[in-house]
Amino acid sequence: MSGAALGIEIVVVFFLALFLLHRYGDFKKQHKMVLFGTLLAWYLCFLIVFILPLDVSTTIYKQCKIDNEEHSTYSAVTVHSNQSTRNDSITPAGLRKECYKPWSYIPDGIMPIFWRVVYWTSQCLTWLLLPFMQSYARSGGFSITGKIKTALIENAIYYGTYLLIFGSLLIYVAVHPNLIGHLDWYQLQTIGITAANTWGLFLLVLLLGYGLVEIPRSYWNASRRGHLLMKTYFKAAKLMTEKADAEESLEDAMEEVRKVSECIKYNHPLRKNIDTILKKCPTEYQEKMGRNMDDYEDFDEKQNVYPSEKSLVKLHKQVIYAVQRHNRTRVQWQILLETAFHLEDVAKNETSGTHQFVRSCTPQEPEGFISRYLYTPTVEWYWECLLRQWCYRILAVTLTLFSVAVVWSECTFFSTQPVLSLFAVFIQLAEKTYNYLYIEMACFLTIFFLCTCVYSTVFRIRVFNYYYLASHHQTDAYSLQFSGMLFCRLTPPLCLNFLGLIHMDSAISHQNREQTAYTSIMGSMRVLSFIADGFYIYYPMLIVLLCIATYFSLGTRCLNLLGFQQFVGDNDMTSDLIDEGKELIRREKRKRQRVEDGENRRREWKERYGNQREDYTRNRNVQSSEMKETNYSDTNNSTRQKRKRQRVEDGENRRREWKERYGNQREDYTRNRNVQSSEMKETNYSDTNNSNRRK
Residue-wise pLDDT for 43-94, tens only, equals 999 999 999 999 999 888 888 888 777 666 655 555 455 554 444 434 444 4
CA distance 76 to 95: 10
pLDDT at 88: 44
CA distance 525 to 203: 19
Q: Domains in the chain: how many in total?
A: 1
Long-range contacts of 221-225 (CB under 8 A, 24+ apart): 222/392, 223/388, 223/389, 223/390, 223/392, 223/393, 223/396, 224/389, 225/343, 225/346, 225/347, 225/350, 225/389
Q: Examine residue 168 and state whether it is found in any structural domain, yes or no.
A: yes
Query: CA 130 → CA 85, 113, 599, distances in Å?
Result: 72, 24, 46
Do 25 and 35 touch, CB atoms closer than 8 A?
yes
Query: CA 169 → CA 120, 186, 195, 196, distances in Å?
Result: 20, 14, 8, 11
Q: Examine residue 87 and state whether it is found in any structural domain, yes or no.
A: no
Q: Examine residue 198 and state whether it is found in any structural domain, yes or no.
A: yes
pLDDT at 72: 64
In this structure, the number of other CB atoms found within 10 A of the CB of residue 664 comes to: 10
pLDDT at 354: 81
In this structure, the number of other CB atoms found within 10 A of the CB of residue 324 comes to: 19
Q: Examine residue 550 and state whether it is found in any structural domain, yes or no.
A: yes
ω into 418 cis (within 30 of 0): yes
Q: Examine residue 664 and state whether it is found in any structural domain, yes or no.
A: no
Range of the domain at 406: 1-76+99-226+369-573
Q: Examine residue 388 and state whether it is found in any structural domain, yes or no.
A: yes
Q: Examine residue 410 and state whether it is found in any structural domain, yes or no.
A: yes
- Stated pTM of the model: 0.74
Q: pLDDT under 50 in the chain at which residues? A: 79, 84-95, 180-181, 295-296, 299, 302, 463, 527, 632-633, 635, 695
Do 263 and 270 touch, CB atoms closer than 8 A?
no
Q: Examine residue 552 and state whether it is found in any structural domain, yes or no.
A: yes
